[in-house]
Every structure is written in structure tokens, then in C-alpha cells.
């Protein structure tokens, strides 16, 4: 997948991102896309079959016919309000791993979007902003490292 300088920048920001665990996104995100890889991760996490995951934890996606969506979102059924965290953190879906700076729809966008509802997103951007010129021109080695990181985050198949 050809990436542009802002894609590389968003990958860097996402890698640097430090969630403040305010819980906002886990309580309002809907739909939460579920890709085939997410189904496999959940099956392994709960030690159940793929069919059981699909039946128990997903619904048809409201706008993407090829995808499923997490059943019981907004608030997410896996959000632990007491701990302010995710109860399936290791097996959380790809869109949660890529939030807030990366998602399949953002690749190719020119610029970086700051999310007003996410208190950590502006801080992440501020941390990285002073090195913007350097970060927008990564050398070949850094590009490979970032592409690898993106592939790891976005495993969808």
C-alpha cells in the first residue's frame, strides 16, 4: 500500500500515543468494525469457535456489507467502567488498536486530525509537532519500520 508523508506521521503519532483512560471512546464508538482477524483473536481469547464469536459478539455491520460489527457498543460491552479499561485489551479489535490517529479510512489523508473528545490526542500531536519537518520526511529505514508497525496494528485478514 503506497503511503504518503502524513501516513508515516500518523503512524508515528499512534505509536507515541498515550491513552489517558478517560473511557470516552469506549462509551460512544458505534459501530465498532470487526474484521476476520478480530474474530480469530476473540476466538482465541475466549477459547471458543469462530462461529460462536460471530453469534455471541457480533452483528451485521450497518453500513459495510463485508464486515461485522461488535454487538452491544456505546457503551462497549467490554468496557470496565470501574477500572476505566478494556476487559479484552489483548484481543481488542483492530479499530481500537488504531484509534485515534489511524483507521483504514484515514490512510491517504493529508494532515493529522485532532480529536476534541480525546484528551490524549492533542497532547500526542503537541509532543511530536516540534519535529514535524523531520518526521514528514522519514528515511527508507524509518519508512520500513513504520510500515511494519502499521501492518502489525492493522492486521485485518
- Distance between CA atoms of residues 151 and 156, nearest Å: 9
- CA torsion through residues 63, 103, 154, 80, sign: negative
DSSP 90: G
Residues in region 30-49 near ligand SF4 by CB under 6 A = 32
| Nearest distance in Å: CB 152, ligand SF4 | 17
- CA torsion through residues 20, 26, 32, 38, sign: positive
Q: Are 118 and 100 in contact (CB under 8 A)?
A: yes
Q: Is residue 23 close enough to count as binding ligand SF4 by CB under 6 A?
A: yes
Three cell numbers at 3? 503511503
Phi, psi of 72, deg, nearest 5: 65, 70
| Nearest distance in Å: CB 101, ligand SF4 | 10
Residues in region 1-20 near ligand SF4 by CB under 6 A = 19-20
- Which of 92, 98, 102, 154 is in the footprint of ligand SF4 by CB under 6 A? 92
Nearer to ligand SF4, 28 or 136 (CB): 28
Q: Is residue 78 close enough to count as binding ligand SF4 by CB under 6 A?
A: yes
User: Quick one: how many helices (H) and strands (E) in the chain?
Assistant: 8, 5
Point out which span in 90-98, 104-112, 129-137, 146-154 binds ligand SF4 (CB under 6 A): 90-98
- Which of 9, 11, 13, 26 is in the footprint of ligand SF4 by CB under 6 A? 26
Contact residues: ligand SF4, CB under 6 A: 19-26, 29, 32, 76, 78-79, 86, 88, 92-93, 96, 99-100, 118-120
Amino acid at each position: 500500500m503506497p503511503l504518503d508523508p502524513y501516513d508515516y506521521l500518523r503512524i508515528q503519532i499512534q505509536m507515541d500515543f498515550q491513552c489517558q483512560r478517560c473511557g470516552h471512546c469506549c462509551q460512544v464508538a458505534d459501530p465498532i468494525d470487526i474484521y476476520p482477524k478480530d474474530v480469530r483473536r476473540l476466538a482465541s481469547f475466549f477459547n471458543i469457535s469462530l462461529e460462536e464469536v460471530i453469534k455471541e459478539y457480533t452483528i451485521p455491520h450497518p453500513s459495510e456489507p463485508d464486515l461485522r460489527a461488535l454487538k452491544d457498543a456505546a457503551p462497549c460491552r467490554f468496557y470496565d467502567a470501574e477500572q476505566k479499561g478494556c476487559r479484552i485489551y489483548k484481543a481488542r479489535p483492530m479499530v481500537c488498536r488504531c484509534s485515534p490517529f489511524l483507521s483504514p479510512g484515514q490512510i491517504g489523508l493529508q494532515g493529522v486530525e485532532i480529536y476534541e473528545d480525546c484528551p490524549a490526542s492533542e497532547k500526542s500531536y503537541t509532543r511530536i509537532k516540534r519535529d514535524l519537518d523531520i518526521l514528514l520526511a522519514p528515511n527508507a529505514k524509518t519508512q520500513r519500520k513504520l510500515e511494519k508497525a502499521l501492518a502489525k496494528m492493522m492486521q485485518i485478514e
